[in-house]
Chain A
Amino acid sequence: MTLRPAAAFHGVDLAILRCASLLVPWCQRGEWWREWRSELWHVRQACTPSHGVLWSAENEVTLFCLGAFKDAMCLRGQLGRKPIPHATTMGSAAQCVFLLVGLIAMSYGVALLLPGVSSVRHFQHYRDARNLVLIQDARYPGDSTATISVEQYQSWKHRRQDLFDDFAFYRMTRESIYDSGHTAAPGTIAVASTNLFAMLGLPIRFAASGGESQRGMPRLILSDAMWKREFGHDPHITGRVVQLGTNAVVVDGVAPEGSWRLPGKVDGWLLASDTKSIADGQGFVVAHLKSSEERTWGENWLMAAPNQDGVMADFSCVSLAESTRGPLDLFLFAVFLACLALPATTSLPLGEYRVSSQKLSWSKRLRRWGFLGCKIALLLPIIYFVSLDLAYLHTTVNRTSSENLQIVSAFSICLFGLRWVLRDQRQRCPVCLRRLTHPARVGEPSRNFLAWNGTELICVAGHGLLHIPEMETSWFNTQRWLYLDPSWNVLFADPGLASASYF
């Protein structure tokens, strides 16, 4: 079988056209492929001789086929592109919403990367935190110092109480954990009474069903960080016997991330059933108030009670409801403060256009208010995540400082964010919600009595002009919107004109 040169050239031309057709958008590909093939037949008929091969003719046909690539690129360029001038998309409501959504995604992404944020977001409130108090010696400020001795705890626990119905104790100590021949992992261990977790209502992951307690060994609860760091996320950790200092203890579960909010950074809790195991030393006491409808206790109050020597002493009781507020509570508090401060920093009216010759339709008004609500709704998660990112950027910062930082940053961002929302809303066209552009100075201050003096902004779609007075006067005290009728349209960008010119 011999291949005729003309047929070979035709095959090459078809291959070129097929390649070009692959560049054409899918929805138009079949139509263009059909038309090009049809035209190729006619081009070949018109250009090439009926017998033999003429190089110049084949060259002309090939040039026709190569032109198909230009067609295809032109079609691809037109795909999905509306002939709307840049001016009409710039500053649109959709652009604003996309920007805010982008900021949410970015701040949330950063929050996911920061371990401190992850810990605080998983925080769960303590059970009945309103009736839980941390008791400390009133002579020591703050809650970072351990001030209560084991004997003091014992005397309270065994004495009949009017105020409290239960006490729990913990004491911080440094110990090394040895796990079946592995190297020692030093950590901060809270030696605690067995009722501590039950009183706080802290959940325990992988908790044993009771079998391990029969071994008679002290139980160790690991922190989430220690479990991940030293035990490699082992889900079968419960029941394993490890060496804690010189004692063998059995692992009884893992405390979830962010669950511990009492003083001290803890890697594990050793739950000691008897006070001998707790040993001597100063620690912290958590007490549970008896439920009473007649008595209401504040967040921080003083109590006079006998110490272990029988001498009356002052003790401060700090409610855990106050000291274990979650990040959402702090965020809402900061937003509330910012809302209170907002009227002092900017005017709240949105520039209701009282001198308007044209009433906006209900749908346009609704759209405008909906856009304002949407901006505020999108602003709140940005404030929340950015304030968390800033507060927990460094894990070395203590919890109180982080909370203060979160409140300050959430308040600042919320205040400036709300100011921006109002200012942005005032400078948008009430008809199309695009940002007004082309500010121009109008008038002079000296002519304020006869005319007005201020800034004029324009809607690029030609809906009107906004006049903002520089000096508020009794006859021009707020911004005014001047609607333009359709006779002005010739001056403004018209998307239809863009398609009227071809090349």
Chain B
Amino acid sequence: MAPEAKLSHTAAMILQAVNAGYVYGFSVMEMTGLPSGTVYPAMRRLERDELIRSQWEQQSIADAEQRPPRKYYKLTRAGKLTLEASRKRYPLLGKLIPSEEVEAL
């Protein structure tokens, strides 16, 4: 999808959350306050449009921590460009989900 493609505010929030380091579905839900029925399909659509990409965690890592492997999401180059365009459209996006918050953790 072209970088200048229009994103809804919800999609832009999810993109901002993933960019901020909330890289799996539940953490995006927690950060954005969006329900599960909204977040997961939206992330699939963002993935379909190649704005984010997903990757399953290695089984060995999950086994070592005695939990199921989880799916991580990451912004693509097109996703970063789209997010930049969306930030201009939604100036408060950065304040709602600051990137530094996760980076400081």
A70-B36, A502-B11 known; A42+B41 contact, CB < 8 A: no
Do the beta carbons of B35 and A46 come within 8 Å of each other?
Answer: no
List which B34-89 residues lie within 8 A (CB) of chain A. Answer: 35-38, 40-42, 44-46, 49, 67-71
- Please name all residues of chain A whose beta carbon is closer than 8 Å to the beta carbon of B96 when the two chains form the complex: none
Name the segment of A60-68, A94-102, A134-142, A157-165 touching the other chain: A60-68
A401 at the interface (CB under 8 A from B): no
Do the beta carbons of B1 and A42 come within 8 Å of each other?
Answer: no
- Find the residue from B24, B36, B67 having the highest chain A CB count within 10 A: B36
- Please name all residues of chain B whose beta carbon is closer than 8 Å to the beta carbon of A339 when the two chains form the complex: none
- The total of Cβ contacts below 8 Å across the A-B interface reads 75
B98 at the interface (CB under 8 A from A): no
- Please name all residues of chain A whose beta carbon is closer than 8 Å to the beta carbon of B37 when the two chains form the complex: 66-71, 74
Partner of B40, one of A35, A42, A43: A35
Do the beta carbons of B5 and A500 come within 8 Å of each other?
Answer: yes
Known: A38-B69, A41-B68, A503-B10. 12 other contacts (CB 8 A): A35-B40, A35-B70, A38-B70, A38-B71, A39-B25, A42-B26, A42-B70, A67-B37, A78-B41, A501-B8, A502-B46, A503-B38
Supply 19 A–B pairs (Cβ within 8 Å), ascending by A: A35-B40, A35-B71, A38-B70, A39-B36, A42-B24, A45-B67, A46-B26, A67-B35, A67-B36, A70-B38, A70-B41, A71-B37, A71-B41, A74-B37, A74-B41, A499-B1, A500-B7, A502-B45, A503-B8
Chain A residue with the shortest CB-CB distance to B14 = A502
A interface with B by C-beta (< 8 Å) = 32, 35, 37-39, 41-43, 45-46, 63-64, 66-71, 74-75, 78, 499-503
Q: Please, how many angstroms separate the alpha-carbon atoms of A43 and B26 in the complex? A: 7
Q: Please, how many angstroms separate the alpha-carbon atoms of A502 and B51 in the complex? A: 12
- Please name all residues of chain B whose beta carbon is closer than 8 Å to the beta carbon of A74 when the two chains form the complex: 37, 41
Do the beta carbons of A500 and B35 come within 8 Å of each other?
Answer: no
Do the beta carbons of A499 and B49 come within 8 Å of each other?
Answer: yes
Do the beta carbons of A37 and B36 come within 8 Å of each other?
Answer: no
Chain A residue with the shortest CB-CB distance to B39 = A67
- Please name all residues of chain A whose beta carbon is closer than 8 Å to the beta carbon of B1 when the two chains form the complex: 499-500
Q: How large is the interface on B (under 10, 10 to 19, 20 to 34, 35 or more residues)?
A: 20 to 34
- Please name all residues of chain B whose beta carbon is closer than 8 Å to the beta carbon of A499 when the two chains form the complex: 1, 49
**Shortest CB distance B71–A (Å):** 5
**Shortest CB distance A98–B (Å):** 29
**Shortest CB distance B91–A (Å):** 20
- Find the residue from B37, B46, B68 having the highest chain A CB count within 10 A: B37
Q: Please, how many angstroms separate the alpha-carbon atoms of A42 and B36 in the complex? A: 13
Do the beta carbons of A503 and B40 come within 8 Å of each other?
Answer: no
- Please name all residues of chain B whose beta carbon is closer than 8 Å to the beta carbon of A75 when the two chains form the complex: 41, 44
Chain A residue with the shortest CB-CB distance to B46 = A502
- Please name all residues of chain B whose beta carbon is closer than 8 Å to the beta carbon of A42 when the two chains form the complex: 24, 26, 67, 70
A46-B26, A502-B11, A503-B10 known; A64+B5 contact, CB < 8 A: no
Do the beta carbons of B69 and A502 come within 8 Å of each other?
Answer: no
- Please name all residues of chain B whose beta carbon is closer than 8 Å to the beta carbon of A46 when the two chains form the complex: 26, 30
